[in-house]
A and B are shown apart, each in its own frame.
Chain A
Amino acid sequence: MTSTLRPPPPAPPRSPQEARSPAPRPPRRGRSWRQALRRDWQLYSLAILPLLFFLVFRYLPMLGNIIAFRRFKPGGSIFGEYWVGLRYFRMFLTDPTFWEVFTNTLVLGALTLLFCFPLPIVLALLLNEVRARRFKRFVQSVSYLPHFLSIVIVAAMVMQLTSIEGTANQLVSLFGGDPVAFLQKPEWFRTIYVSSEVWQTVGWGTILYLAALTTIDEDLYEAARIDGAGRLRQTWHITLPGIRPTMMTLLILNIGSFLAVGFEKILLLYNPLTYPTADVVSTYLFRMGFQSSNFSYAAAIGLFEAVIGLILVLSANVISRRTVGTSLW
């Protein structure tokens, strides 16, 4: 993340002198790899296993994406058998189902962003106005709780709440309606998905904002009060600008993961009846790969998705740097 977020430093800070002038060290240019290895080989040796992990389990699969351009045979080489060029890409780009799931992904991603990004800010601002410390602590502790649950548990809870005899339908019949099989109805899927997402993430999402809020200079509020600014105007002119770097960083991260909408949750909650709204790129890819055993086709879709994700996060970062001066790196 960025160096622009500044919650109170949890670890004892170094004295300013130290920070400015680190221990004298030999000039960089003069040291060759040989010298570095001789001097620091023990340090490098500590990096071997983690590096091996990254190379094998992170970078090798990136190379493995080559099967998107090759014919892949299960049980054969992990890099496929022979070249087929862009065949699989052409296949999914002309596949109407792909565009359907792509649209679903955009809609679910946009809705998630629309609700799960601003609501933690609102909750943090509300919590920030609470004077009773114990009450504040209590609300915080409760609101963090869903973050620690497995997605399977959340999905199971959703199923119970929306089942025919569940709470949602108890409310429906309270208002005289007929019970609805919510999870079988495509028109309800987005609401259910986004609500459960909000339920699970909003509380936890306030942490960084609450930390940023404590770093805002009290004098600014004092000055604004003397100028006659009310609470609302103080919030608008001091509080919000104060947490803007945090907001931008989280926004960039959110946009970067835009396409990666909760694959696991959807996989648990959707069914053929709700495919029209629930099926997203990653779940479609999953079915193509593991139910239809079309690995190359699925890998092509996955590569497409990953590249778009990378482009999204890079462009969000550039825009943010140009407009508000916040950047992830």
Chain B
Amino acid sequence: MVTFGTKIDAPKTRGPDDSRGYRIFRVVNTVVLLGVVVVTLYPFLNIVARSLSEEAYIIAGKVSVVPRGFDLTAYKLVMSDSLFWTNYRNTVVYTVVATLISIVLTTCYAYVLSKPQLKGRGVLVGVALFTMFFSGGLIPNYVLVTSLGMKNTIWAVVVPNAISVFNLLVMKAFFESLPTELEEAAAVDGLNTYGILLRIVLPLSKAIIATMVLFYAVSFWNSWFTAFLYMDQQDLLPVTVYLRNLIAGATDAQQSGAADADVVQAAATLQAVTIVLTTVPILAVYPFVQRYFVRGVMLGAVKG
């Protein structure tokens, strides 16, 4: 593209890009984009400020992005709640187990689907694709999981959403892009399919597997509804449902005529603290993993 000089050129040599209108546009554009940044970040700053503020300032509506009357009581309260930590540990366990299962199943199926000469491949692809556009729905799924006896077990959370078709297609596209010569040579050397997959293909696929791990891990880390639906024992819940119960409790209190304003307000600070504590791990890894996500999304869009 045309490069821009900051110097003022003689009017005659100005191309259309250098027109006054476009320069004004660029200033406005920068301001608009800065606005996007501010609007995106504001809720985060607000929550952090609220979590650190003293109750009275929040109630008075004086807290926006700067903590007022620095106070860590709410943090101490949440962090001394053993249920919070139990639920947090559950989130970690569910995420790790579910991601493992998902990666194994997705990798196996994507590898099979990436073999163009395989008989029946079209059917196997179709089986997966159709589920993108039509699903059994909430009630039959619930009935199924319940009748399999998976309620109140880890399996209800980690198995029913094991394969994401989008991720499957991303992996399939990646495997298809690998050069076939290596696998052919390995086959000539007497390696069987399992050997080829484990020793040749997977070592070449570290980047894509890392991307898939992130995709799955984030979605399981963030999920709450399956656990909410299938678990009714408090100590089995992930931390997302812990937070959900906290905000649902606050809403109920508000609706019942705010019987006790203090309870509602305390809940608001506790909410802020819980939000901060559940978001921190994501924010901590985000800068390092963001580009893998972007790459994965683009890879999924190329073919499919």
| Interface, chain A (partner B; CB < 8 A) | 1-3, 5-7, 9-14, 18, 22-23, 25, 31, 33, 36, 40, 42-44, 46-47, 49-51, 53-54, 56-65, 67, 72, 78, 123, 126-127, 129-131, 135, 138-139, 141-146, 148-153, 155-157, 159-161, 163-167, 169-170, 173, 179, 181, 183-184, 199, 203, 207-208, 211, 218, 221, 225, 228-231, 246, 256, 264, 267-268, 271-273, 282, 285-286, 289-290, 295, 298-299, 302-303, 305-306, 309-310, 313-314, 329
Determine if B177 and A60 form an interchain contact, defined as CB atoms under 8 angstroms apart: no
Q: Which residues of B contact A306 (CB under 8 A)?
A: 134-137
Q: Are B142 and A289 in contact (CB under 8 A)?
A: yes
Most-contacted residue by chain B among A6, A61, A150 (CB, 10 A)? A150
Residues of B within 8 A of A (CB): 1, 3-4, 15-17, 19, 21-22, 25-26, 29-30, 32-33, 36-37, 39-44, 46-47, 50, 58-61, 63-64, 104-106, 108-109, 111-112, 115-120, 124, 127-129, 131, 133-144, 147, 159-160, 162-163, 169, 174, 177-180, 184, 192-194, 197, 218, 221-225, 229, 240-241, 243-244, 246-248, 250-251, 254-255, 268, 271-272, 274-275, 278-279, 282-283, 286-287, 290, 293-295, 297-304
- Sort A-B residue pairs by CB-CB distance and give the 4 closest, nearest first: A61-B136, A64-B140, A302-B137, A150-B222
Give the complex CA separation of A208 and B254 in angstroms.
42
A47-B112, A211-B301, A295-B143 known; A167-B64 Cβ under 8 A: yes
Chain B nearest Cβ from A162, distance in angstroms:
11
Check if B193 sits within 8 Å of A46, measured CB to CB.
yes
7 extra interchain contacts, Cβ-Cβ under 8 A, other than A157-B46, A199-B40?
A: A53-B105, A59-B136, A64-B143, A152-B244, A207-B294, A207-B298, A309-B134
Contact A144 B290 (CB under 8 A): yes
Contacts of B248 in A (CB 8 A): 268
How close is B102's CB to chain A, nearest CB, in angstroms?
Answer: 10
Considering the complex, give the chain A residue whose CB is closest to the CB of B278: A153
Query: Are B193 and A173 in contact, CB atoms less than 8 angstroms apart?
Result: no
**A43-B112, A50-B163, A230-B16 are contacts. A5–B117 as well, Cβ < 8 Å?**
no
Most chain A CB within a 10 A radius of its CB, from B32, B61, B229: B61
Report yes or no: A51 in contact with B43, Cβ–Cβ below 8 A. Answer: no
B144 near A60: Cβ-Cβ < 8 Å: yes
Instruction: Verify B109–A130 contact, CB threshold 8 A.
Output: no
User: Is B160 within 8 A of A149, CB to CB?
Assistant: no
Q: Which residue of A lies closest to B192 (CB)?
A: A42
Which of B33, B64, B115, B197 is the one whose CB lies under 8 Å from A130?
B33
* Bound-state Cα–Cα, A207 to B134, Å: 26
B159 lies within 8 A of A1 (CB): no
- Within the complex, the shortest CB–CB distance from A233 to chain B, in Å, comes to 9
16 CB contacts below 8 A, A to B, read A3-B304, A5-B302, A10-B299, A10-B302, A46-B111, A61-B141, A62-B134, A148-B218, A148-B282, A149-B279, A150-B224, A156-B243, A208-B297, A208-B298, A230-B16, A306-B137
Residues of B contacting A: mostly: helix
With known contacts A152-B243, A160-B46, A199-B40, A145–B133 Cβ distance under 8 A: no
- Among A14, A64, A157, which residue has its beta carbon within 8 angstroms of that of B144? A64
The reply to whether A199 and B39 form a contact with Cβ atoms under 8 Å apart is yes
**B136 interface neighbour in A7, A65, A131, A149, Cβ under 8 Å:** A65
Which residue of chain A is the closest to B291 with respect to CB atoms?
Answer: A141
Q: Is the CB of B297 within 8 A of A207?
A: yes
Select one of B60, B254, B278, B299 contacting A165, CB under 8 A.
B60
Q: Whole-angstrom distance between the alpha carbons of A12 and B182 in the complex? A: 14
Contact B224 A1 (CB under 8 A): no
In the assembled complex, the Cα of A250 lies from the Cα of B171 at a distance in Å of 20
Check A145–B286 contact: CB distance below 8 A: yes
